Amino acid sequence: MKRSEKLYRYLQQHQALDNPRTRQRLKREYRRKYQNNWARQQRKKRREIRFSLKNEEYQIFKSYCQKHAITPTALARDLVLSQSQSQPFLANKEELLKVAKEIGLVINRIQAGGNTEITLRKLLSAEATLLSYLKNYSHAHT
């Protein structure tokens, strides 16, 4: 059976090798300290930031995240970065990129002299998507 030398030394320092109850308690204590130390080291590497919210605040935050299909961590990170870089925050960049792509395709169709009915439909679809996004965004911030 392989054993951890550090754990063995820890148990030896606390004179717990003979008493099974004390040994089990100290093993749990050692593992808890080990895990906490490991987590602390990982936070230093990742530059983790922790904050807490009240239950009511978290429920509002969670519903906002579900509404905009974004994880709470990603939203918090994006909000902090946009605020610190003085850039406007966009809750769903992918949806706006989709609208920009549709508008680009319409411009290409117009320049190529394509079917005006299809072009108009695509332009109206892009407008509806953008208006829906802006409506949801404005309701979330009022």
**Would you list the domain boundaries of the chain?**
5-46, 52-90, 92-142
Across 72-89, average pLDDT: 79
Across 43-52, average pLDDT: 77
pLDDT of 137: 59
Burial 94-131, CB ≥16 within 10 A → b, else e: ebbeebeebeebbeebeeeeeeeeebeebbeebeeebe
Is the dihedral angle over the CA atoms 94, 99, 103, 109 positive or is it negative?
positive
Out of 84-88, 93-97, 98-102, 135-139, the most confident range is: 98-102
Between 75 and 135, the higher pLDDT residue: 75
The tens digit of pLDDT for each residue in 10-20 reads 888 888 888 88
Please report, rounded to a whole number, the percentage of residues in the chain having pLDDT higher than 70.
87
pTM, to two decimals: 0.36
**Has residue 22 got a pLDDT over 50?**
yes
Within 8 A by CB and 6+ apart from 14, the residues are: 22, 26
pLDDT of 36: 92
**Has residue 1 got a pLDDT over 50?**
no
Across 96-116, average pLDDT: 78
